[in-house]
Structure 1
Amino acid sequence: MARPFKQGIDYFPFDVELLSDRKLRRPKNKYGYLASVIYLALLCLIYKDKGYYLDYSEDVREDIQLDVLEFLQGKFQPTTETVGEVIEDLVACGLFSRDLFSKNIISSHRLQCTYYKATADRKAVNIDWNKWLLKETEMRELCSRHIILNNFINRPKNEVNPPNKTVNQSNNTQSKLNKSKQKESKESKPAAAAYFDNTELNQLFLEYLDIRKVIKAANTERAVTLLLNKLKPYDDAVKKEAIEAAIMGSWKSVYPESIVKNSKGKKAKTSGEVQISDDRKKIYEELDEQDEAWIWAEENRE
């Protein structure tokens, strides 16, 4: 009798920096230990089942949330609603693919790399290319003799991301690929440079805009302009701290004037934490509501 086909994996490497990932900061700040445990629970469920993704469609969503709750059994077990909110925040902060999540799929580039390496010796692996995030060049670097890579190259041309005609690309093909990358780069630059010249600061602001979407704050042109005007008078260091504080607090607005500085203009602490008092946080939460009402009024003004 043939050996039963195995899709998932029995174990996965636990990177020592897995739970110190900067992307996990905001969910941990909001939900505490729940964010870390739910993140690990999802990885276990993904690797155990399909290996590289988890179906999170509406008909199985509650079952997934209940499966996650089994990792959190105890006196202070959260509700399925809380689990769902944490999962959405894990996606919003970039730990899982936002594009796939919009299609009710939970996966990430990082976990697919892990799965690819873990299945390098297998003779057969089933992959749905609509859910696959790794590019051919990435797979070649990880393992050039993988069955997944072979199937990727020889998959039907009418599928997503049609394969190259040959395994070894010609100079002409490589030239076209380079031009395509340059075109993508040029197309993406305006969006990335639209707010700040500082790449790191701009990326942080884009992350904050994603957070605003999660908390149901509209990122209209007027709303974004008002946010940028609040940050404009300050230097990049203050802007960065203000945006990080807004991300960690899930605020609808930014408050650069609140950043506490010592007499020399340096951070009061070197740990990277933004210095904002609890009283100030309560005030800013109230200001969030006022700012949102003001933005709404500005948007509807003739």
Structure 2
Amino acid sequence: MARPRKTGLDYFSIDVDFYQNIKVRKIKMACGPQSISVLICLLCNIYRNKGYYIEWDKDLPFLIADEVGVTEGAAKEIINKSVQVGFFNQKMFENGFITSKEIQERYEKACKDSKRTNVIIREKLNLIRDNSGNNPVETPLTTEETPLTTEESTQSKVKESRVNESKEDDVEKRKKTSSTSDDVFENIQKLKLRYQEKNLRSAFCKNMKITPENLDLSLSQFNSDLESLGRNLETWKEYSKYFKNCIGAGKYPKQKQSKKKIKSPTDITL
């Protein structure tokens, strides 16, 4: 009887800058330090069983929570946040699978390095195929093909040069955009920590008539708005002034006014 073919891996590699990954940092900032353990546990289950994906069902949060030692609700929240920031592919998640392009690329490389043959990623889960819907296949040049003329060769080189320049420009733009996004995220998180200082926090709540709970909620929403707009407030003065203006304009929730106590007849003096 033929031995069943193994699809999972015995081990997988992890980037040394895993903790510096902007997606991981966003998950950690939103869900707490235990989120790192949940992410590692998910990756272990993905690579160990199917190799490049795991099925999403109602039991998965419980299984992950039980292995890591967190609550089921926390595990579910971390998984949802991971999808939201793009750590896992959202479209696949909506179809009941947890995977990503990076996971699939790492899986293919691991199989290639271990000289596994006939490794096939299911068509409906494949995230590393080209725009035509097929996995890219290199077609070798045969000796029967007609060689290019000098004029055609020159035109081809000019076109190729223009294409390469365009690609380089796109890469530079993406790098600048990514760098700006990282700078904004870094800066607003540092500025937010100033509001954790006890004296400043107390004075701000008193002056702006806002509860400490609403202050934390407002700061989180404020930072999310800044990040989505890509607006970098470099100084504490600028950050604080803009935040106060938003609170004053009623953009974020303020403390509810307590109802005046109606005196009872026994409290009224004649």
Common fold: TM-score over 0.5: yes
The yes-or-no answer on 1:71 pairing with 2:31 is no
Shift of 1:258: 6.3
CA contact (8 A) 1:51 1:115 kept: yes
What are the within-5 Å matches in structure 2 for residues 7-46 of structure 1?
7-46=7-46
| Ranges in structure 2 where 5+ consecutive residues have no aligned partner | 149-155, 193-218, 254-270
What is the distance in 1 between the residues matched to 2:5 and 2:137?
30
- Please state whether the residue corresponding to 2:4 is helix, strand or coil: coil
Quote the Cα distance in structure 2 between the aligned partners of 1:257 and 1:117. 39
Deviation at 1:38, TM superposition (A): 1.1
Q: Is the 8 A contact 1:204 1:244 kept in 2?
A: no
- SS of the aligned residue for 2:45 comes to helix
Report whether the alignment pairs 1:82 with 2:74: yes
Pair 166,20 (structure 1): closer, same or farther in 2 beyond 3 Å: closer
**Is 1:253 equivalent to 2:225 in the alignment?**
yes
Q: 1:164, CA displacement in angstroms?
A: 7.6
Q: CA RMSD in A?
A: 4.7
Q: Over residues 78-133 of structure 1, what are the superposed CA-to-partner deviations in whole Å (9 max), with x where a residue is unaligned?
A: 32222111111112222112232232221112111111011121233342111111
Aligned match of 1:113: 105
Matched, 1:161 2:170: no
Contact 1:27–1:90 under 8 Å retained in 2: yes
Corresponding residue pairs, total: 200
Say yes or no: does 1:92 pair with 2:52: no
Q: Which structure would you say has the larger RCO, counting Cα contacts within 8 Å and 6 or more residues apart?
A: 1
Does the CA-based 8 Å contact 1:45-1:54 persist in structure 2?
yes
- Structure 2 SS opposite 1:50: coil
Offset, 1:166: 7.9
For residue 8 of structure 2, give the secondary structure of its aligned residue in structure 1. coil
Deviations 1:158-197 (A, max 9, x none): xx814689844899xxx9xx99xx8xx9xxx9xxxxxxxx
- Matched residue, 1:2: 2
Name the CA distance, whole Å, in 1 between partners of 2:136 and 2:176. 37
Q: The residue matched to 2:117 in structure 1 has which SS?
A: coil
Compute the displacement of 1:40 (Å): 0.5
Matches within 5 A, 1:227-238: none
Conserved? CA contact 1:7–1:126, under 8 Å: no
TM alignment of 1:116-155, pairs within 5 A: 116-120=108-112, 121-135=115-129
Where does residue 251 of structure 2 map in the other structure? 291
If you compute each CA radius of gyration, which structure gives the higher value, 1 or 2?
Answer: 2
TM-score normalised according to structure 2 size: 0.56
1:94–1:164 distance in 2 versus 1, CA, 3 Å: closer
- Following the alignment from structure 1 to structure 2, what is the Cα–Cα distance between the partners of residues 51 and 292? 45
Length-normalised TM-score, structure 1: 0.51
> Residue type of the partner of 1:112?
Q
Amino acid at match of 2:75: V
2:207 maps to none
Can you list the C-alpha shifts for 1:185-222, whole angstroms capped at 9, x where unaligned? 9xxx9xxxxxxxx75675689x89xxxxxxxxxxxxxx
* Distance change (3 Å), C-alpha of 1:99 and 1:70: same
